[in-house]
A and B are shown apart, each in its own frame.
Chain A
Amino acid sequence: MKGLLVSLVALALNIISSACAAHLLRPKRYLYLFAISSVVGSGVYVLLFLVTPPDLYFLPTAWSINESRLDLFYGFIIYFLNCHTFVDSFFATCGGFSVALLVAMLKNGHKLTSTNELMGKFKLQPQPQQRRMAPGLGPVDGRLVPQESDRIYAWRIPHLVARGYIRRDEIRQVYSLTTKGRFIAIVTFALKRLMNLGEGG
């Protein structure tokens, strides 16, 4: 029971500290923030587990797990699963496409929200108005490449290139998978088949 309770304390500290860090650092991508705070939180978990007594000052003897290493390991698994739930809930809400539609409707207030209007919210400004920030140069006007015409592909494609999942052939102007991207695509494809899912996405 000690492992479980200590893991819940470590999770709470992780959630609070990552929220504080987000306010201070304003990260653009949150996965790194959560990964770092979760790793730090796991260290806190182990430390708290080692410095506290087996009964945590209040647990009855019958409620203690007698094998300390099992208790430590089990608490760690609980901590990992809870961190996964926390991060997944964050991305399902703040990063989720469906929820973004709900938020767009909420922010629209009592005004009518048609399908076309919602589609418009995911389109970026047309070419002449689009001003882009070039590193070291400041705002520049330039011709947009096709994926920048909407908010779904505009950040996703450069992000996938930067993370090494896809590559861009500058001569032929095509994108293809790297070995890492191909591996992920094959695993995803296989899982979709195993679960009898459609195209999804």
Chain B
Amino acid sequence: MVLRGIWAATLVSASWIILQNLLMFARPAENRFRVMLVGYLMSLPFVLVVYYYFLQLPFPSGSPSATESPKLGLIHAYFFHLLLFFFYVQCFYHVERSVTLRLLVELYRFGCNGAPIQSIQGRYPVEDMIRQRLDILHDRGFIKLRDGAWHLTLKGAFLARITVSIAWLYQAQGQHERS
């Protein structure tokens, strides 16, 4: 039962992720996280459908899985489906937002001759990085602009406080404190 639940979760996850990425070519979305969340939520009923389809298939004779509770398989199917969603979102942001990966891609574009650091900084200046992120944070409701200054919203302050707590717990420094 559990193995069938895992297969159902994997199949449904792979299907909606492929479909969602194909749709992004037809109609690109500004807020990709919302699209991923909608894709995940819309795929939830399909986990049930696919799992019950798999349950109808006969078990090999003497298989120990045949005596397991069908509910157990369903719980694992939904749990695994959720973890695969998290994994996809995390991988997406590794590719989309990573400064280091962007830096490597910029150097790749310069070809085998390479480039001085000023050229890389010219194509990808820190000022642009900051402006781009402030726009995104503003769009997502983490900050607001008042009298020419940025202020944290409740959501932004909550995330910042959580980060400060985690940083204390792990004695870590943020990007604005490194040198």
Contacts and interface: CB of A to CB of B under 8 A. Distances in A.
A181 B176 CA distance: 25
A85 B90 contact: yes
A3 to B, nearest CB: 9
B134 to A, nearest CB: 6
A70 interface: yes
A189 to B, nearest CB: 5
B3 A70 contact: yes
Interface in B35-72: 64-65, 67-69, 72
Given A78-B83, A94-B172, A174-B115, A197 B96 contact: yes
A126 to B, nearest CB: 13
Given A102-B143, A106-B164, A176-B112, A153 B171 contact: no
Nearest to A62: B69
B126 A81 contact: no
Contacts of B11: none
A173 B2 CA distance: 58
A87 B97 CA distance: 16
Contacts of A173: 116
A53 to B, nearest CB: 17
A156 B100 contact: yes
Interface string B15-29: 000000100110010
A13 to B, nearest CB: 15
B33 interface: no
B23 to A, nearest CB: 9
A121 B126 CA distance: 11
Main secondary structure of the interface of A (DSSP, over half): helix
Contact of A4 (B65, B79, B159): B79
A19 to B, nearest CB: 5
A97 B129 contact: yes
B104 A166 contact: yes
A1 B95 contact: no
Nearest to B137: A98
29 contacts: A26-B171, A66-B64, A74-B76, A82-B83, A85-B87, A94-B170, A94-B172, A94-B173, A99-B163, A101-B133, A101-B134, A102-B157, A103-B167, A103-B174, A105-B152, A112-B147, A115-B130, A122-B126, A153-B117, A154-B178, A166-B107, A174-B114, A181-B104, A185-B101, A192-B95, A196-B28, A200-B95, A200-B102, A201-B98
Given A98-B133, A176-B110, 20 more contacts: A67-B3, A85-B83, A90-B170, A95-B172, A95-B175, A98-B136, A98-B142, A99-B159, A102-B142, A103-B160, A105-B160, A113-B149, A114-B149, A165-B104, A175-B107, A176-B107, A177-B114, A185-B101, A188-B101, A201-B105
The 9 A-B pairs with the shortest beta carbon distances in the complex, nearest first, are: A201-B102, A176-B114, A66-B64, A112-B149, A185-B108, A106-B160, A174-B114, A62-B69, A100-B175
